[in-house]
Each structure stands twice: as structure tokens, then as C-alpha cells.
Structure 1
Amino acid sequence: MFAALFPGQGSQKVGMGRAFAEGSAAARAVFERAEAALPGLLDTIWEGPEEALRLTENQQPALLAVSAAAWAAWREAGGPDPAYAAGHSLGEWSAHVAAGTLELEDALRLVRNRGRYMQEAVPEGEGAMAAILKLDEAAVREVVQRTEGVWIANLNSPGQVVISGRKEAVEAAAAQLKERRGRVVPLKVSAPFHSELMAPAREALARDLARVELRTPRFPVFSNVTAEPATDPERIRELLLAQITAPVRWVEILEGMHGRGVTTFVELGSGNVLTGLVRRTLPEARALNAEEPEGLAAALKEVVS
């Protein structure tokens, strides 16, 4: 049994997805639809500059388009639907495009707005995020709970927790965590994602999402918020909004899939971040990366064998 995984912000790079466009008619059609929905998006994806691709409002639709193209190439090559799917933060939207919950064009416009609203929620320089390594969730949570203005944003793998919030609060929590022998890695991000400071973005996106039809997904997609699969369209709508301020419970998602019989995970889209997180969380599972056509072909062979 296999699950499909879709990456989030931080996995982007200029030129991503071009090999799929050149080698797959289905992927090329996805990119053409993406360009029609958001003119200029393909230039940003394939030509850059990197600074433009890093902008949250560009990065989110760019990554979604590339994941959707990789998924189209997978299906064109005879790839089956997964038992489950999940995406890391933004990637949850990509998973719902793959599952048919959202139309590609609707999702692209929504995540562009999502990125813009998230950037506008907190003035640049006032928020921060940091990855905490070598400490477990309980140790990080203890410090966060007694530090006002900071929240747990991502539970990525055992020994990798991301915190987010006001810059001075993140720095104060980080100092305490260093004293506990944690390793602190400040993240180069433009806003404090997955914190309560993103509440204005959640409220703004709610108005946009209310106008879009969501359908029952062809396969269950795990929610970042609950770490459980969701199939009811209205519940999915609620969870996609709640996700903006809630932590990404990635460890629980992977463990939940594994507990339901998933032994193989295929990451579809740019980068290999999620492949690495699977290997650190579930060393006994197979983690395969379909970032390029060659990787997709190898993953397909493993899945259908």
C-alpha cells in the first residue's frame, strides 16, 4: 500500500518541473492551465529570479503547479491512486488537487491569495521561525507554553520541531532551548507561519474559499490539523482554513498512514524534504522521490511491482 506526499514551502527552485513539461503531455497541459489562470507564473517558475520565486504569493502557486504536473505525469504513466495522500502545509492543497477535491485553477488562485494574506498578516521583520533539533516535542512544548508570543508550528520528525511567532519571543524561546542542549536553526522565512499571528490571513482566506466548490476526494487526504484523513468537503474547507494557524502534525500523519498499512511513500513535486522526513520517522518504510521523470519512473516500478 502506498501514499502520495506533496511538498510545501522551502522546496522550490528555479527551473523546477521543466523536465515534466518536456516529457509528459499531461504535465504540460497542467502548466498551460496554470499559466492561463495566473499569467506570468511559468516565467517565475522556470526563469526566476530566485528572489521572485521566494515571495510567498509566488512560491505557493508555483509549488502547487509543479506538484499537480508531477501528479498528472504519474497518472499518464499508469500510476495508480494512492491509498492516502498528504501534503506539508501548502502541500495539503496540492494533495486535494490530485484527489479532485479542488479544481486546479481554483486552488492556484486561492493559494496565491493565501500567500499574500499570510505575508500581510505580520509586517516583515516582526515575526520569525526556528527549527529546534535534538530535542523531543515535550521539551520544546514546555518552553513554548511559558513563553508568550511563540507557538509550535511544525512537528516534522522525531527531534525536529519548528517554532514560530514574534521575533523577540522566538529568540527568547530559542535561548532557553539552547540551554537544554537543543540545536537552533533560524529559518529564512518572510512571516511566522502556523502561528496565531496568522489569524488575519485565515479570516481573509475564508471569504475566498467560501465561494469555491469542493468535491469529495477520490482518496482520503490527511489533514495537517487533525493528523487524520478527511473526506467530507465541508469539513475539508474548515480544516484548510484552520491549517493557517495550527501546527503541521507531520510525524502523526506519517505514523497514522503507516498504522493503516502504508509501507511506501512517494513524494511528488519539487525537492526531497518529505522523503527525508519519512526516512527519519519511519526507517522501515520505503521513501521514494518523484521530483524528475526518472525518479517518477523508478517510483512507479516500485509501487506496481
Structure 2
Amino acid sequence: MPNDAPTAVLFPGQGSQEPGMRDLVAAEAPELLDRCVELVGEDPFARVADSTRFAQPAIFSASVAGWRRAADHLDLPVAVAGHSLGEFAALVAAGAIDALDALELVVLRGRLMADSGERAGGGTMLALLGVSDDDAARLAAAHGVFVANENAPGQVVLSGATDGIAAAAEAARADGLRAMELGVAGAFHSPQMDAAVAPFAAALDRATFRAPAVPVVSCSTAETMTDPRRDLADGLTRPVRWTATMRALTERGARRFFDAGPGQVLAKLAKRTAPGAEIARLELARA
């Protein structure tokens, strides 16, 4: 595909961490690294696997650093989009918010989500493979849990109380589906995060946003963000509609997708949701 193919840039969420993130941030966004340690109270990169309160600022900072590494080598994208947490880096890339301001919101988001999970008394998430969206919704309803992510055709994540997720996993396997517990300490993108919404919305109201230089497609609505404060607050409890988001980007004319990283989660999903498109990792764009 020619290098001038219309491009959409994708920013991943939790679970995308990989070795070398800290070095990338130190090289490309040192001010984020220093502020990240200051806001969290310790170096979050050493504890990404321990809690969402560490994972979120580390992954956000690595995404912004990856974008900076490659931005000068890319034409202006037709749109950007982020998967859950990735929406903050997408807004930074679009020029809608300063990176340091976004980092403060991300640190608060991670803390509030961790606290909400602890207060709810236990929750987790379950990935289902080989399932239709409708069957996943029926399975969730039958066991009192919720659809959290529609990631790609045949890949849906459920979220909810630990016992409900365990029951859903057992039922899914009995139906011949692959079901994998994600090992997260919280039922993200579900009503278990309700307690985080009001304080996070208050912080968003105090933050400064600008009109983006390129469209930012919301992963909750699969439509262009017009009110990022509302979208980011609502996104705590709404499902991620990533399949629909990728469809919206394709309808905008995107024929090439760059995964800003860290990791290759969105690049792999793009192969399933945008067959025939050129797909690459953004941090490797200089090659």
C-alpha cells in the first residue's frame, strides 16, 4: 500500500504493557516520567502488573512517547482512537489536551478505579473467543455480569462480580467456547465502577480541553467525540465498542492503522476488524 494511504492511529489500553516502556518514556517524554513518579508516589513502571493504579499512568506515558517517536514521520491522520485508557493518549495526539494535564487525569482514574474495585468486594473480567456479540450478551445477562469489551468479531470480554464471572466461564466452556479469566482486580467497564464516575467527572470539569486537530473517535459510541469530558466519564462504566470503532475509522477512509503501543494488542485486533488494511506498530514507523 502506498505511504500516503489515509491513516488512523490507535492507542491501546490496559494489558498492553511490554518490556522497555520506561526506557521509551525516558527518551521521548522525560517530563512525563518525572511527573508520573511524583504523582504516583513511586515508579509505576516497576509495578505495572500489581494494580491498575500503576498500570494506567505507565501505559499512557508509553503511548504518548511512542506517538512522539513517530509523529514527525507520518502525515496527519484522518482520525485517532483509543481503547479505554488509550483515549487519553489519543486526545493528546490530537492536540485536545496537554500531556501533563492528561497524565494527572490518568493517575486519578487509576486510583479511583482501583478503589472502586476494592469497595465492591471483588470483581474481574473474562475473555470469550468464538462467540457472537448476541450470545455474549445473553451469557452475561444469565449470570448477572456485563459485556465490557467488543474487541473484534468473535472476541468479547465480560465484566462483573467474581462468582458471576466464574459461572459465566463454566457455562461458556460447556458451550464449547474458549474462556480466559483476565486476572484483573476489578470489574472495569461495568456498574462496579459507578463510585468512580462522579469524582472523575469533577476532575474532568476542571481540566482544559481544546478543539482537536484531527477527529477523535470515541470507543464507547464509535462516533466523533464532541464532549470529551462526558465521554471519558461515561467510559468508566460503558462497554468498549472496539469493533464498531474500527468500522467507523474505516468508514472515515482509513486504509492504514498504526498501533501507537505499547505492545501489539490493537495491531492484532486490526487484522481481524480491518482485513486488507495495512497495519503497523507506530513506534516502529521510522524503520
Q: Under a length normalisation based on structure 1, what TM-score does the superposition of the two structures give?
A: 0.86
Q: Which residue, out of 274, 292, 297, partners 2:286?
A: 297
What is the distance in 1 between the residues matched to 2:193 and 2:211?
Answer: 27
The answer to which of 280-289 and 88-97 deviates more is: 280-289
Q: Is the 8 A contact 2:67 2:282 kept in 1?
A: no
Q: Is the 8 A contact 1:31 1:65 kept in 2?
A: no
What is the distance in 2 between the residues matched to 1:287 and 1:167?
Answer: 36
The answer to which of 10-19 and 35-44 deviates more is: 35-44
Kindly tell me: are residues 20 and 106 of structure 1, through their superposed partners in 2, closer, same or farther at Cα, counting changes over 3 Å?
Answer: closer
What is the distance in 2 between the residues matched to 1:100 and 1:52?
Answer: 27
What is the distance in 2 between the residues matched to 1:98 and 1:147?
Answer: 39
What is the distance in 1 between the residues matched to 2:76 and 2:163?
Answer: 45
**Residue 40 (structure 1) shift:** 7.7
Amino acid at match of 2:281: N
- SS at 2:68's partner residue? helix
Residue in 2 that maps onto 1:69: 65
Stretches of structure 1 that go unaligned for 5 or more consecutive residues are 299-305
**Residue 206 (structure 1) shift:** 1.1
Matched, 1:194 2:189: yes
Q: Which residue, out of 216, 219, 223, partners 1:221?
A: 216
Residue in 1 that maps onto 2:35: 36
Matched, 1:18 2:14: no
Amino acid at match of 2:238: A
- SS at 1:162's partner residue? strand
Matched, 1:166 2:161: yes
What is the distance in 2 between the residues matched to 1:57 and 1:219?
Answer: 29
Residue in 2 that maps onto 1:3: 8
**Residue 37 (structure 1) shift:** 5.7
Q: Is the 8 A contact 1:35 1:42 kept in 2?
A: no
Q: Is the 8 A contact 2:92 2:102 kept in 1?
A: yes
Deviations 1:158-202, CA, capped at 9 Å, x for gaps: 111000001111112222222221111000212111011101111
- The equivalences for 1:262-301 within 5 A come to 262-291=254-283, 295-298=284-287
Q: Is the 8 A contact 1:44 1:52 kept in 2?
A: no
Q: Is the 8 A contact 1:17 1:70 kept in 2?
A: no
Residue in 2 that maps onto 1:303: none
Cα RMSD over matched residues?
2.0
Q: Is the 8 A contact 1:121 1:201 kept in 2?
A: yes
**Residue 54 (structure 1) shift:** 3.8
Residue in 2 that maps onto 1:130: 126
Between the two proteins, the alignment pairs up a number of residues equal to: 281
Residue in 1 that maps onto 2:3: none
The answer to which of 170-179 and 185-194 deviates more is: 170-179
What is the distance in 2 between the residues matched to 1:184 and 1:287?
Answer: 27
Deviations 1:106-129, CA, capped at 9 Å, x for gaps: 111111110111011122861010
Q: Is the 8 A contact 1:34 1:105 kept in 2?
A: no
Kindly tell me: are residues 194 and 20 of structure 1, through their superposed partners in 2, closer, same or farther at Cα, counting changes over 3 Å?
Answer: closer
Kindly tell me: are residues 52 and 181 of structure 1, through their superposed partners in 2, closer, same or farther at Cα, counting changes over 3 Å?
Answer: closer
Residue in 1 that maps onto 2:148: 153
- SS at 1:122's partner residue? helix
Stretches of structure 2 that go unaligned for 5 or more consecutive residues are 1-5
**Residue 142 (structure 1) shift:** 1.3
What is the distance in 1 between the residues matched to 2:41 and 2:70?
Answer: 20
- SS at 2:67's partner residue? helix
Q: Is the 8 A contact 1:17 1:270 kept in 2?
A: no
Residue in 2 that maps onto 1:242: 234
Q: Is the 8 A contact 1:34 1:41 kept in 2?
A: no
Deviations 1:42-70, CA, capped at 9 Å, x for gaps: 98366x2xx45542112111111111112
Kindly tell me: are residues 43 and 14 of structure 1, through their superposed partners in 2, closer, same or farther at Cα, counting changes over 3 Å?
Answer: farther
Residue in 1 that maps onto 2:171: 176
Q: Is the 8 A contact 1:34 1:104 kept in 2?
A: no
Identity rate, percent: 36
**Residue 266 (structure 1) shift:** 0.3
Q: Is the 8 A contact 2:39 2:104 kept in 1?
A: no
Residue in 2 that maps onto 1:83: 78
Kindly tell me: are residues 146 and 45 of structure 1, through their superposed partners in 2, closer, same or farther at Cα, counting changes over 3 Å?
Answer: closer
